[in-house]
Copies of this chain bind each other. A is one copy, B any other.
Amino acid sequence: MSNKKILLAHGNGGSLMHRLIKELFLPKLNNPILKELSDSATINYKERIAFTTDSFVVSPLKFNGGDIGKLAVCGTVNDLVMAAAVPEYLSLALIIEEGLDYGLLESIIDSVSKAARLACVKVVCGDFKVVEKGACDKIFICTSGIGRVIERRKLSLSRIEDGDKIIITGDIGRHGFAVFSGRGKIDAGFVIKSDCAALADLIIPLVKRTNDIKFMRDPTRGGVATTLNEIAQGAGVGIGVEEKQIPVAKEVRAASELLGMDPLYMANEGRAILIVKSGSAKGILARIKKHPLGKNARIIGSVTKQAKGRVILSTLLGTRRILDMLSGEHLPRIC
């Protein structure tokens, strides 16, 4: 038995967490569905369904653009959407610290309710635990979700090939900065609204329309850089991205310069990365841009034969550098 400790960085979506998953969870819970490490497990019943889970420990509970309740619903809905599944049913489990204001709980459940209604999902089962003061920080939420996988759509890393285009559905880094500034440790004079949103309405019609979307993932903890690395490593391909194509809002850029934090590593909660067939990329992008959630979408790069397993960033300065996966702790409790 070793003396290794779990660090905050184990929970941040980056390389330490990936190692923990590979070394601890995969061997011990060994089964082919889990091994896919997809955001959702898809399971063959007579109809194919997707099943996903997430816990939410965000601090503060409310931030510009949402709260833990909205975040839980959107996060779980988005994990289903990324598996090409129409989100249908959610579970909701709450762990609450004794003494939590009833009014605060009520406002969080209101957010859950509103977000679920907007995303057309039903919360169909739940659980509720209270622990003594000091045994948890106010409230944690765990949501699981089930959705129906769209017929004849199997998104998979194995479909990705040389030349495919990479689309991001909107400007990046908002959620991370919104939560960070909500902690009130800084007054940097910027106001950034989280992108927190359910993506079903944007993505599901696209996936129904075309089979040329090969893979999707939402760049949450660890940000766009980490998600692109997951894709490059998982598919065994190289990925090249153009910094100048990556959409970043003015206020996010200002905050990142001020704080020395790179938007490419900041969490998003309402964005998706799509890997699409080259010839269809412009058509898919045009459709995404018509939706309010996709108006800042861009093609940011492409899949390459070179540099397998790596992400190469062509910078604004004209140089090229390796964009690594997030390592160590960036911002804990962002979701």
Which chain B residues lie closer than 8 Å to A5 at the CB level? 98-102
The answer to whether A20 touches B109, judged by C-beta atoms less than 8 angstroms apart, is no
Q: Is the CB of B45 within 8 A of A140?
A: no
Chain B: minimal CB distance from A55 (Å): 4
Q: Which residues of B contact A33 (CB under 8 A)?
A: 89, 122, 124-125
* A124/B41 in contact, CB under 8 A: yes
Whether B126 lies near A333 (C-beta < 8 A) is no
**A28–B109 CB distance below 8 A:** yes
A129 to chain B, nearest CB (A): 5
A51 x B89 contact (CB < 8 A): yes
**Which of A12, A91, A132 has the most chain B CB atoms inside 10 A of its CB?**
A91
Residue of B nearest to A139 (CB): B6
A258 near B: Cβ within 8 Å? Answer: no
A20 to B130, CA, bound (A): 12
- Please measure, in the bound complex, the distance between the C-alpha atom of A299 and the C-alpha atom of B5, giving whole angstroms: 50
Given contacts A24-B109, A31-B123, A45-B148, contact A134 B134 (CB under 8 A): yes
A229 an interface residue at 8 Å Cβ cutoff?
Answer: no
Question: Would you call A96 and B6 a contact (CB within 8 A)?
Answer: yes
- Of A38, A55, A100, which is in contact with the most chain B CB atoms at under 10 Å from its CB? A55
CB interface residues, A 54-111, toward B, < 8 Å: 54-57, 59, 88-89, 91-103, 105-106, 109-110
Which chain B residues border A234 with CB–CB below 8 Å? none
Which B residues lie within 8 Å of A163 (CB)? none
Cβ B45 vs Cβ A333 within 8 A: no
Contacts of A137 in B (CB 8 A): 131, 134-136
> Chain B residues near A40 (CB, 8 Å)?
125
Provide the bound-state CA to CA distance between A40 and B332, in Å: 33
A52 and B91 within 8 A (CB): yes
Counting every copy of the chain, the complex holds 2
Complex contact B98–A55 (CB within 8 A)? no
At the interface, yes or no: A296 with Cβ under 8 Å from chain B?
no
Please, how many angstroms separate the alpha-carbon atoms of A126 and B103 in the complex?
31
Tell me whether A146 and B11 are in contact (CB under 8 A).
Answer: no
Contact present for B332 and A124 (CB under 8 Å): no
Q: Is the C-beta of A21 less than 8 angstroms from some C-beta in chain B?
A: yes
Answer yes or no: A209 CB below 8 A from chain B CBs. no
Q: What are the residues of chain B within 8 A of A130 when measuring CB–CB?
A: 6-12, 332
Decide if A284 is an interface residue (CB 8 Å cutoff).
no
The answer to whether A186 has its CB under 8 Å from any CB of chain B is: no
- A17–B140 Cα distance when bound, in Å, is 17
A185 interface residue per 8 A CB criterion = no
Is there an interface contact between B332 and A34, defined as CB atoms closer than 8 Å? no
Q: Which positions 185-200 of chain A face chain B at CB distance < 8 Å?
A: none
Bound-complex Cα distance A33 to B121 (A): 12
Say yes or no: is A250 at the interface (Cβ < 8 Å to chain B).
Answer: no
Q: Which one, B41, B113, B123, B136, contacts A89 given CB within 8 A?
A: B41
Q: Give the docked Cα–Cα distance between A101 and B81 (Å).
A: 35
Is B332 touching A8 in the complex (CB atoms < 8 A)? no
**Is the Cβ of A51 less than 8 Å from the Cβ of B6?**
no
Q: Could you name 10 residue pairs across A and B whose Cβ atoms are closer than 8 Å?
A: A2-B103, A6-B100, A25-B128, A28-B109, A29-B92, A29-B113, A43-B124, A57-B136, A125-B144, A142-B142
